Chains A and B, each alone.
Chain A
Amino acid sequence: MNIDKQTYKKYVKKRAPRSPLLKDMLLAFLVGGAICAFAEGIYNLYLLLKIEEETVRTLVPVTIVFLASLATGLGFFDSLAKHAGAGTLVPITGFSNAVISPALDDKSEGLVMGVGAKMFTIAGPVIVYGVISSVIYGVIYWLLGVMA
Chain B
Amino acid sequence: MMELFWDIMKAFLVGGAICAAVQIVIDKTALTPARIMVSLVTLGVILGAVGLYKPFIEFAGCGASTPLTGFGYTLAVGVKKAVDERGLIGALTGGLAGSAGGITAAIFFGYFFALIFRSKPRD
Contacts and interface: CB of A to CB of B under 8 A. Distances in A.
A100 B18 CA distance: 24
A129 B41 contact: yes
A73 B102 contact: no
Contacts of A37: 8-9, 11-12, 15, 62-63
Size category of the A interface is 35 or more
Interface string A87-125: 101111011101110011101000000011001001101
B40 A44 contact: no
Contacts of A129: 38, 41-42
Interface residues of B, number: 79
A45 B95 CA distance: 27
Interface in B66-114: 66-68, 70-72, 75-76, 78-80, 82-83, 87-88, 90-92, 94-96, 99, 101-103, 105-107, 109-111, 113-114
Contacts of B44: 130
A105 B119 CA distance: 6
Contacts of A20: 27
Contact of A104 (B8, B14, B23, B119): B119
Contacts of A28: 16, 19-20, 22-23
B26 to A, nearest CB: 6
The 9 closest A-B pairs by CB, nearest first: A36-B15, A33-B16, A138-B91, A32-B19, A134-B95, A73-B117, A40-B11, A39-B62, A58-B101
Interface of B: 4, 7-20, 22-24, 26-28, 33-34, 36-38, 40-42, 44-46, 48-49, 60-63, 65-68, 70-72, 75-76, 78-80, 82-83, 87-88, 90-92, 94-96, 99, 101-103, 105-107, 109-111, 113-120, 122
